[in-house]
Structure 1
Amino acid sequence: MLKKEVARGPGARVVIMDSITKVTADDAGSVVVSASHGGASSGEFALEVPLKAAFFNDAGVGKDQAGIAALAMLQKRGVAAGTVSHTSARIGESQDMWDEGVISHLNEGARALGLSVGEPLRQALERLARG
């Protein structure tokens, strides 16, 4: 299962991982791109470590917006979060999310970092890392 640093700069360290279950204390303060869905269970894992931001796959959003529930959970704790569209990147493959993902949903914290819906995830997070 893939987990690796893909960008680092004065603004952020960016780590991609195929599953949010792989987040550890070593990732504290980082921007994590997880290929997990953005549901409540993923949000719970993301809240176990104090992250700068977390990104997930929107998994088609789903009934009652279940596929993006983590965004509100993280916002309540002051963590920026977003998703990429399930039509732009494969669920479960963080390298594909990094290479091909297009931002589909953002919480207010992520918008405050200057990120925009419709922007390629990699482009947005490389800019964030540069500060």
Structure 2
Amino acid sequence: MTHAARPAPSLRVVDSITELRVADAGCIAVSGSHGGLSAAHYAIAARPLLSVFNDAGIGKDAAGIAALALLQSHGLAAAIVSHDSARIGEAHSTLHDGIVRHVNAAAQALGIVAGMQCAQAVAQLQR
């Protein structure tokens, strides 16, 4: 029996994660947003395959990467690029310049690891 190839996930490049919609479920969402809890709620509503954020300097009590655990608790993959590698609020910088610094277990299961370029992670998922 031959299995049909599954289509590559679509790519949504959004300066703010708030731009995602329910119709974006299953996409790869590359954003310029910080990886805080408020941003995570938008990703939970849209349910992308992978959400990429900016760590925004991580901040007090690791607020800039709090999305990792919350998204993991919802079975959603998340990766966060370093603020030193990409401009905060500019998704094209996240995609083209961003270096992944933090990932949750769901992202690791997709093969996304710290040190990977964001563009490399996206290309890997779209193969």
* TM-score under structure 2 length normalisation: 0.92
Structure 2 match to 1:6: none
The unaligned stretches of length 5 or more in structure 2 are 1-5
Mark the structure with the bigger radius of gyration. 2
Q: Would you tell me which structure has more strand in proportion to its own residues?
A: 1
Mapped pair 1:67 → 2:64: yes
Q: 1:34 aligns with which of 28, 31, 36?
A: 31
Which of these residues, 72, 83, 87, is aligned with residue 86 of structure 1? 83
For 1:15, what is the secondary structure of its paired residue? strand
Q: Deviations over 1:13-57 (max 9, x none)?
A: 221100011011221111101100000000111111122111100
Counterpart of 1:14 in structure 2 is 11
TM-score for both structures, normalised by structure 1? 0.89
SS at match of 1:48: helix
Runs of 5+ consecutive residues of structure 1 not aligned to the other structure? 1-8
1:44 alignment partner in structure 2: 41
Distance 1:79 1:121 in 2: 17
Distance (Å, rounded) in 2 between the aligned partners of 1:108 and 1:50:
16
Match of 1:123 in 2: 120
Runs of 4+ in 1 over 4 A off after TM superposition: none
Quote the residue 1:95 is aligned against: 92
Task: Give the Å deviation of 1:11.
Answer: 4.1
SS at 1:55's partner residue? Answer: strand
For residues 17 and 54 of structure 1, the distance between their equivalents in structure 2, rounded to whole angstroms, comes to 11
Distance 2:19 2:9 in 1: 19
CA contact (8 A) 2:79 2:112 kept: no
| Cα RMSD after superposing both structures | 1.1
Q: Distance in 1 between matches of 2:111 and 2:77?
A: 11
Q: Between Structure 1 and Structure 2, how many residues are aligned?
A: 122
